[in-house]
Amino acid sequence: MIKELEKLISLHDLDIMISDLIDKDIIKQEKKLGLSPASAVEKLRKMRDELSLTIDRKYRDLYDQLAGHYGNAVVPVVNLMCSGCFTQLPTAFCASPDRNDQVETCPSCGRFIYWCD
C-alpha cells in the first residue's frame, strides 16, 4: 500500500478517535474512570495536525472536503462495493493488480477507497 493512502487511513482513524473522545457520553464515562479525555483529545489533535501536514495538499484538501460532507472520507471496498455509498465498483477497476498502490476515489461518491483483501 502506498504511503499516501496509509496516511489518509490514519488521518481518518485519528478523526474517529477525536470525535469519539469529544462525544459527551464518552467524556462522562471516561471522567468516571478517572481518565482525562481533554488531554487525550489535545494529543490526538496534535498528532492529526502533524500527520495532515505530511499529506499531499491535493489529497488533504479533498479529505477535508469529504470529511466535512460525509463524515467519513476514507472507506474500504467490501464485496466490490464502496462501503461509503454502497455502489458496485466497475469490475475492471477492482481487478487492477496495483490497487492500493495508488490513491483511488469512488467513481460515485468520491470518497477515498482502499482494498482490505
Q: Which is nearer to Zn ion, 29 or 108 (CB)?
A: 108
Least CB distance from residue 103 to Zn ion, whole Å?
15
Contacting positions for Zn ion (CB under 5 A)? 82, 84-85, 106, 108-109
Three-state secondary structure call for residue 105: strand
Q: Which is nearer to Zn ion, 66 or 82 (CB)?
A: 82
Separation of alpha carbons 115 and 106, rounded Å:
12
Please count the other Cβ atoms lying within 10 Å of the Cβ belonging to residue 23: 13
81-82/104-105 β-pairing: unpaired
Q: Which is nearer to Zn ion, 21 or 89 (CB)?
A: 89
Least CB distance from residue 73 to Zn ion, whole Å?
11
